[in-house]
Amino acid sequence: MKSIWENDIEFPQFPTLNCDTECDVLIIGGGIAGILCAYMLNSAGVDYILLESDRICNKATSLTTAKITSLHGFIYSRLIKEFGIDIARLYYEANEEAIAEYKKIVKNIDCDFEICDSYIYSISDTIKIQKEYDALKKLNIKCELTKTCELPFKIAGAIKFSSQASFNPLKFLSEIAKDLKIYEHSQVKKIGKNFAYTDKAQVKANKIIFATHFPFWDLHGFYFAKMYQEKSYAIAFKSTKKIKNMYIDDMSELSVRRYNDYLILGGQKHRTGKKSGGWEELTSLKEKYFPGNEIEYRWATEDTITLDGVPYIGKYSAFSKDTYVITGFNKWGMTSSMIGAKLLCDIIIGKENKYEKLFSPQRSILRKQLFVNLFETTTNLLSFSVPRCTHLGCKLVWNKNERTWDCPCHGSKFAENGSVLNGPANKNLN
């Protein structure tokens, strides 16, 4: 089943790159991150082109729950502990600037953009809620601690951020993409010094931005160890119960938001290749709390998870000149994509940006999650079963619900016939 965003949406179509060309900046990847990068560079008068391997916005971007918010789970208490108050405050300010930028851009765009409140709640853990609230107070962030909300079940407590937003991302992107320099069905297969190669052409570029969901250029950056992918699920159905705002619980098992006459439930996260209740558990929660109408839309997505919960936006690696990356959104791709597009545009045009150090991919990788990632990959590589992922050779796991081959190491996904669906793999199985 398709996501609710893919219903009755017509995207502009773009040509395939069939001849050699050159530009100042090449953007690889036509999801929301790549398109926003193109939009910002275009507005700044920079010479660029964007290459997409398939159609724009037909992968992770079409599978979001489309929340635009600065309330990213219990991130602020974690950031204070790991980086200190100043960095935690910068993270909040970056996300609030992203929300403000959306509000400015959508003024003349019909994309069902709505201002609403965002909540993180817990069914039973008041201590966890209080700890995050105390962290927010240390940062002088305006928020509200409450024990009531409009959800049809009791909660132990919740934190509310006001003046956040929701929208239809595909309506938004179809509008801003139509006048951009985009080539579709133009998959980058190889990277050289200031060159990118597709099956039909080569692009000479002074700078390259990797805006793919998971970076595939493994010679630099160590991203295959610095990130893993996490799968989660969503369903949408018409409901008479009016939920005005956006909600996510402390375990990321149940996310709730409204879209027109529909409610969207999401959650049931797990590392790609592991088992989960998935749609079955979501359906059970739907029948328990929102009985009635049938489910009309159902989809699954993958999210890139970094070592410390902060995206990687900036120079691709310490040893790669004039190459940049925007990835690792930790489930909050709508705000992170806007932050990253503005940051990378500033870096490229030589404008100072106070968030550059915060999101730098060159920050320390000495985190517990690094060793978890390395252990998962090593254990997998030592097995002898087939098929194997065309990225780094990990054993693939059959996903019977989606009928796909999934990579537990880095999240690549292949169709039943062996064609690659999601990266970092960029070669088919056969």
**Residues near 125 by beta carbon (within 8 Å), at least 6 away in sequence:** 156, 250
End-to-end Cα distance, the chain: 26
Tell me how crowded residue 29 is: count the other CB atoms within 10 A of its CB.
28
pLDDT averages per 10-residue partition of the chain, 430 residues: 87 95 97 98 98 93 96 95 95 98 96 97 93 97 94 94 97 96 95 92 97 88 91 92 92 89 93 83 92 93 94 94 95 97 98 96 91 86 84 85 84 85 83
Domains and CATH numbers, the chain: 8-64+170-222+309-359 (3.50.50.60), 368-422 (2.102.10.10)
**Residues near 364 by beta carbon (within 8 Å), at least 6 away in sequence:** none
Instruction: Write the burial class of residue 268 (CB in 10 Å: 0-12 exposed, 13-18 middle, 19+ buried).
Output: buried
The confidence score (pLDDT) of residue 1 equals 67
H or E element: which one contains 169? helix 169-177
How far apart, in whole angstroms, are the C-alpha atoms of residue 407 and residue 394? Answer: 7
Q: Give yes or no for a contact between 247 and 151, defined as CB atoms under 8 angstroms apart.
A: yes
The confidence score (pLDDT) of residue 273 equals 82
The tokens of 128 are what?
């966890």
Amino acid at 318: A
The confidence score (pLDDT) of residue 36 equals 98
Q: Give yes or no for a contact between 170 and 11, defined as CB atoms under 8 angstroms apart.
A: yes
Instruction: Write the burial class of residue 346 (CB in 10 Å: 0-12 exposed, 13-18 middle, 19+ buried).
Output: middle
Question: Computed from CA positions of residues 121, 66, 329, 370, in that sequence, does the dihedral angle turn out positive or negative?
Answer: positive
